[in-house]
Structure 1
């Protein structure tokens, strides 16, 4: 297993309530390399030439087995084409041959605009910096990110495991994110392509007003119901549906029928840009911004003060017209030593 001296800062809470090291999954989208080229690069970076078992679930998916954290997945991020790729092809049958031709044509089109995605297993926090080595190797091999072409709407996702899944812990993470979402969006500098393709809608301000109110202290069922009533969609920068499905799958599935929701005890943080081709870019910047959420969630007293400040801003129509919460948030975070 590879090692790296490139360290990332750690959040205040590094273990779960069960005493295990917290884990983070990473997903990154790119173009410029084929699935097999990307898989070979990931395998060589992580395992050396022959250490991983290479699996082919379909023609557009490769899994690398051998990491104690779990399988690494490299795939074309197109669900329909992946489903076709899991079917056996029989070129001797005329109908199957026609279907195969249609699949090949679809693949040629998809490879122009659909990204290859590298999906890590849930990595222990102490191993998270290893992903930076993969980004470095992808860049050196010619991978392109969001800015590589006007049609590329590529992104990256972080899936931090919750330190605990009691209702107060979840509420605190959600409130911390809601308070600084505007600031995070400005920090992310959303690429024009992502804006045109409607990257993750902001949380509705009516819901935000309810959820950050100092008096908001729901039980778990109310927390989930309030979220689902205002956000029955995966289309949020902080998608809570995987976590809520882990806690109460029936409640979530009753409201949101989406097969892409994967039940797991993690937050799903979507970042708008994959800048894999930009020299020097890696997880460090996005992760440092995410740590502001972690620090707030781990400090209920400071979080309560920020919620009160943001609530006052949201409930003051004149202030919202003349003020800029992103700037006020930046000043507040700096003053409270959170940056």
Structure 2
């Protein structure tokens, strides 16, 4: 199977794939936090549906900031995803928040889940859609996404650099096999990593330590608006070094996870699910876990860049030709 779009058929919608490295630094199963953005429902309606699906009690901080505590999958936050939310309680701010639901999403933030629990996330999404929730495909200005936060398998360069390199080399291919809606491409948070960063990852990244990664990332892509935002992970690992190089507004707190930011949350759309997006992440980690395959992709990238005329589309086809027959699909 060589067609880019047909490759999607090889990625399951309902069965979460296991990670090649299933345990984290402390020897416990790796988990993944999920963030889902949606429109069409209020925060209270959304929290009620979370409670109905997973149990627990709804606790209200403000009308725009709720938590479902004690449920089967841990605590779940439900909030309006906007800075103004922090000023809720002020009459003017509350009215602005109510009005902003037309363009600003309600966000669900789960506790860290086992990959197998993602099937239950999809059932919750089905409940949300049945109640009137809308996804990114339902409105021209719905710049909503879904974020996955997989726990790292290790906190040293050996555990992190292969995943970072695999993502950089695969990003154009991942975007090509499931193209972003044209209206989303105009939004800043869907920009790919700059090719200059991928150049470094392909030419010297196999010998980097974490400080090398931090310096290159902070210099070449000092923003959270990327498909894979490494700032939370780097802030967790090297807080002082990162803060010395970065605008403090870009640093929101560190955590030992990859912040994988999907530019669309196509709730209820055929051929899309949280499990599907998770399995696309697993493909990245499968390539990272295969040193020979990763080295071959890096060599192909160097050749691609040396040609001077190659495009991102050309590179996606070269990755397709390499990964199509590779043993990463089961």
- Asked if TM exceeds 0.5, the reply is yes
- Gaps of at least 5 residues in structure 2 are 1-13
Q: Is the 8 A contact 1:152 1:193 kept in 2?
A: no
Question: Which residue pairs with 2:265 in the alignment?
Answer: 274
Q: Is the 8 A contact 1:156 1:273 kept in 2?
A: yes
Q: Which of the numbers 183, 189, 196 marks the counterpart of 1:206?
A: 196
Would you say 1:217 and 2:207 are equivalent positions?
yes
Q: Check 1:119–1:188 CA distance in 2 against 1; reply closer, same or farther (3 A cut).
A: farther
Q: Find the residue that maps to 2:295 and give its secondary structure.
A: helix
Would you say 1:31 and 2:39 are equivalent positions?
yes
Q: Which of the numbers 10, 16, 19 marks the counterpart of 1:8?
A: 16
**Aligned mates of 2:72, 2:245 — CA distance in 1:** 36
Question: Which residue pairs with 2:291 in the alignment?
Answer: 300
Question: Which residue pairs with 1:325 in the alignment?
Answer: 315
For 1:268-315, what per-residue CA distance to the aligned partner results, in whole angstroms no more than 9, with x for missing partners? 011111111324631132122211101011122221111111222122
**Aligned mates of 2:168, 2:290 — CA distance in 1:** 15
TM superposition score normalised by structure 2:
0.90
Superposition pairs for residues 110-259 of structure 1, below 5 Å? Answer: 110-213=100-203, 216-256=206-246, 257-258=248-249
TM superposition score normalised by structure 1:
0.87
- Gaps of at least 5 residues in structure 1 are 1-5, 88-98
What's the CA shift for 1:142?
A: 1.6
Q: Which runs of 4+ in 1 moved over 6 A?
A: none
Would you say 1:57 and 2:61 are equivalent positions?
yes
Q: Is the 8 A contact 1:62 1:74 kept in 2?
A: yes
Q: Check 1:321–1:126 CA distance in 2 against 1; reply closer, same or farther (3 A cut).
A: closer
Superposition pairs for residues 80-119 of structure 1, below 5 Å? Answer: 80=84, 82-85=85-88, 87=89, 100=91, 102-119=92-109
What's the CA shift for 1:127?
A: 2.1
**Aligned mates of 1:323, 1:76 — CA distance in 2:** 36
Q: Check 1:112–1:238 CA distance in 2 against 1; reply closer, same or farther (3 A cut).
A: same
Q: Check 1:124–1:206 CA distance in 2 against 1; reply closer, same or farther (3 A cut).
A: same
Q: Is the 8 A contact 1:142 1:277 kept in 2?
A: no
Q: Which of the numbers 255, 269, 274 marks the counterpart of 1:264?
A: 255
Superposed CA RMSD in Å reads: 1.9
For these two proteins, the number of residue pairs brought into alignment is: 315
**Aligned mates of 2:178, 2:312 — CA distance in 1:** 24
What's the CA shift for 1:20?
A: 0.1
Q: Check 1:77–1:260 CA distance in 2 against 1; reply closer, same or farther (3 A cut).
A: farther
Q: Find the residue that maps to 1:324 and give its secondary structure.
A: helix
Question: Which residue pairs with 1:93 in the alignment?
Answer: none
What's the CA shift for 1:323?
A: 7.2
